[in-house]
Amino acid sequence: MADVFDMIVAGDIPAYKVYEDDDVLAFLDLSQVTPGHTLVVPKTHVADIFEYDEDLAARVLSKLPKIARAIKASDENIIGLNILSNNGEAAGQSVFHSHFHLIPRFANDGFDIPMPDHSEQTAEDTYKTLAANIASHMED
């Protein structure tokens, strides 16, 4: 079953496109967290980051800097940019077609991403164990 992003890529649903090539489509998010909030989606349907192969990742993710620079250049008041991707329902993903939010940041824009800091509660041995466990699962 096609999701809303598949339908946008197919041209069945209109979108405010800002960039398109053979691999990706970038268009304004209708929610506009801040002005210029853009979504970047692969034209190939993958549900989330876990479904990318190396080739698709290179073709899609390599476009993020180009699109980010265009967003920043579009408004002299942009002082930063968040790039966010929710992967899986537990991470807040609501459309199960991989996508990246490029959210321009402005002075006093009211958008806040609270990130809890648990560093004081994390022992050095825990960091070592976590790092080793993740590293042991790296694919060649």
- β-strands 38-42, 80-84 pairing: unpaired
Average confidence score pLDDT of the chain: 94
For residues 75-94, give the mean pLDDT. Answer: 95
Alpha helices, H only, 18-63: 54-61
Please indicate whether residue 84 or residue 123 has the higher confidence score (pLDDT): 84
Q: Which of 37, 45, 97, 99 is catalytic?
A: 99
The question of whether 99 is a catalytic residue gets the answer yes
User: In the prediction, which pLDDT does 140 show?
Assistant: 65
Sequence-distant (6+) residues with CB within 8 A of 60 are 23, 24, 40, 42, 52, 98
> Can you tell me the distance from the alpha carbon of 80 to that of 137, in angstroms, rounded to the nearest whole number?
33
Please indicate whether residue 17 or residue 1 has the higher confidence score (pLDDT): 17
**pLDDT digits 0-9 by tens, 25-68:** 999 999 999 999 999 999 999 999 999 999 999 999 999 999 99
pTM of the model: 0.91
